[in-house]
Structure 1
Amino acid sequence: MPISTAEAPARSAPIPAVEADLLEVNRSFYDALWRDARLIPPQQFNTWPLVAELAANAPRRLELAPGLRPRLPIAGTAFADISAPALRQLGAHGGLATQALADALPYADDAFDLVCAFDIIEHIDGDEAAMAELARVAAPGATLLLSVPIHMAAWTAFDDFVGHRRRYEPEALLALLARHGFALQRSAAHGMQPKSTRLLKLGMWYLTHQRERAMWWYNRVFMRLALGTQPALSMSPGMIDTDDVDTVLLVCRRIGGAASD
């Protein structure tokens, strides 16, 4: 059953001010990216079999900052993002799109059965506040799908370019989850970032200096190649061996009520 606004009532508090550099990253990179990009249906990602399994028993769903790469079913899912171009397209496809920040979500406590945050909390200066909000809106027993880049030793210019604030060490990531009442159940290696540093640098140059041309290639060539070469997602109980892993996907369970439980 699709989520309704009555099932996930919004709070009326306005979006608070955040650091100017975070908003500037969104304006200069992500708004430009999503303005010229196409929405890719979640069924095209290797996460879909996992998501379909989880969503079947989760009528109340939230995805945080998906841009135009949503992983949850679009129709009936609540989406919170700060990018207006992304929100317009998500709403046009049946999503319940709301402009909001990760550390001030406009939803009631315990509002969702499935919460998804792919490649987002590493962008947020106050990741503790963001995790507290995810815990607040997740009902007891809810599932959290979370993906983040790991290992600070793997930091590259690409991390700076897209506005990462950190990469997570696996032990610190598990501790962050535990502080907010999430218990890890399964994990997998994840991510679609090219391994070639030369290709990454070339892409960053074109996005900076020739964005229209870069977006043509991104939409019609590189994204299609990336989608077509995704390996099947291989989930393992607990935390996988993270050696040589760039990004990890975690399936967690909300074990308490409020984040302070």
Structure 2
Amino acid sequence: MTFASFSPETPGPRTDADLIGSNRRFYDALWRDAKLFAPERFNTWPLVAELAATSTSRLEVAPGLRPRLPLVDTQFVDLSRPALTELGRHGAHVAQAMIGALPFVDNSFDFVCAFDILEHVVNDEGALGELARVARPGASLLLSVPLHPSAWNAFDEFVGHYRRYEPAAVTELLARHGFVIERSAVYGMQPKSSKLLDLGQWFLTHRRARAMWWYNKVFMPLGVRFQKPLALKDGFVAGPEVDEILLVCRKRA
């Protein structure tokens, strides 16, 4: 994994080893005591079902135990061994790898997903290049990223983000790797209250086991239950108030 540049609003630069280490610690602890949420429970499912109906080979990168693609006959890649073990128990194909070095030959998949991933790696050019390499011409790509570097906060730091994106930078990055944005929607379930975020981070730091229990047993189920339906629009629609965006892309032939 690697990233190109970071915005001046983020803290000082961190290395691949820093990010991989912090992500592994956070997400291994999270997934070790978590249950898998079925893809059908997320507001992305109607869109995913639409795209999956015309696909023959699917890849989702780093889903943890929150996969969005159908489990059976989908290839999943993650760094977390607890997550991979649980996904495999539910009939998924799994491989332990990083987004910057996918263990597949060129043009392997016609439907690729990477939710909440690019902001965690240092070399987004290399990461997206790998997604483009394994995607067939005409393949669908679902991608989500946080927006607006000026909105950087302690939550970004805590969960191992490396950057937030300006909308124009996302569009240019995708175009360099042969992807065209077809539709987009506001996405994500990050709490809006800074006090709630501060409280959650304190418990994750000082009472991790208890915090993980509340997240997995209470907050995550409630968040999923009260998700709003995705409001997809043509093109890239993201105003300054949009914290995170879901992009539906197509790889050029």
With the shorter chain as reference, the TM-score category is: over 0.9
1:114 pairs with 2:116: no
Residue 77 of structure 2 is aligned to residue 80 of structure 1: yes
Match of 1:156 among 153, 157, 169: 153
**In structure 1, how many angstroms separate the alpha carbons of the residues matched to 2:163 and 2:24?**
20
Higher relative contact order (CA 8 A, sep 6+): 2
Report Cα offsets for 1:160-183 as digits up to 9, x if no partner: 001111000000000000000000
Large movers: runs of 4+ above 2 Å: none
Q: What 5-or-longer segments of structure 2 have no aligned partner?
A: 1-14
User: Contact 1:187–1:235 (CA<8 Å) still a contact in 2?
Assistant: yes
The one of 56, 60, 66 aligned to 1:59: 56
Partner of 2:220: helix, strand, or coil? helix
Q: Which amino acid aligns with 1:54?
A: L
1:195 counterpart residue number: 192
Shift of 1:32: 0.6
Please list the CA deviations of residues 138-197 of structure 1 after superposition, one character each: whole Å capped at 9, or x if unmatched: 000000000000000111000000111100000000000000000010000000111111
Match of 2:4 in 1: none
TM norm structure 1: 0.90
Which residue of structure 2 lines up, in the alignment, with residue 238 of structure 1? 235
Deviations 1:183-234 (A, max 9, x none): 0100000001111111111111111211111121112211111011111100
> What residue in structure 2 maps to residue 11 of structure 1?
none
SS in 1 for 2:114: strand
CA distance in 2, matches of 1:207, 1:44: 25
Q: Among all aligned residue pairs of Structure 1 and Structure 2, give the percentage whose two residues are the same amino acid.
A: 62
The answer as to 2:172 corresponding to 1:181 is no
Aligned to 1:35: 32
Task: Determine if the alignment matches structure 1 residue 212 to structure 2 residue 227.
Answer: no
Aligned residues: 239
The aligned counterpart of 2:162 is 165
Tell me the distance in 2 between the aligned counterparts of 1:23 and 1:148. 18
User: 1:27 and 1:186 mapped to 2: Cα distance?
Assistant: 32
Question: Which residue is 1:226 aligned to?
Answer: 223
CA contact (8 A) 1:26 1:83 kept: no
CA contact (8 A) 2:44 2:230 kept: yes
Question: Matched residue of 2:131: which SS?
Answer: helix
What runs of 5+ residues in structure 1 fail to find an aligned partner?
A: 1-17, 257-261
